[in-house]
Amino acid sequence: MLRLTLYTRPGCHLCDAMKSVVDAIARNEPVTLRQVDITGNGDLERRFGVEIPVLVHDGEVIARVRTTRAALLKSLRKTDRRRAT
C-alpha cells in the first residue's frame, strides 16, 4: 500500500493536477492519499512556501509543483530501492 501525503492549498490548480496523477496511479496500485491544507499552518507554510503542491511518501518529498505519471512512478521506485538497502 502506497501511503502518500499531498500538501496543498484551496483553489490550487496545480494541486488538482497532481491529485489527478495520483488518482491515475491508484487505478493500478493500492494508494491512500492524505491531503493537507497548509493554509494558516506557519510551520508548513515556511517549509513549503509557494512550492506547492508537494507530494510526500514515507516522509520523503517525491514531487513538487508538477509531475507526470511516469515521473511519479520513477520517484516511487527510487524511494523503494533506497528503503530496501
Quote the pLDDT of residue 50.
86
Residues 11-22 have a mean pLDDT of 96
CA distance readout (Å), 42 to 48, 51, 64, 73? 10, 15, 19, 31
* CATH fold of the domain at 2-84: Glutaredoxin (3.40.30)
pLDDT of residue 24: 95
pLDDT value at position 84? 62
Q: For the chain, give every domain's residue range.
A: 2-84
- Side-chain-facing half-sphere of 56: CA atoms under 13 Å: 15
Give the Cα separation of 41 and 68 in Å (integer): 28
Q: pLDDT band at residue 1, thresholds of 50, 70 and 90?
A: confident
Contact call for residues 19 and 52 (beta carbons, < 8 A)? no
Question: How high is the pLDDT of residue 64?
Answer: 94
Residue 11, pLDDT score: 94
Task: Check whether 80 has a pLDDT greater than 80.
Answer: no
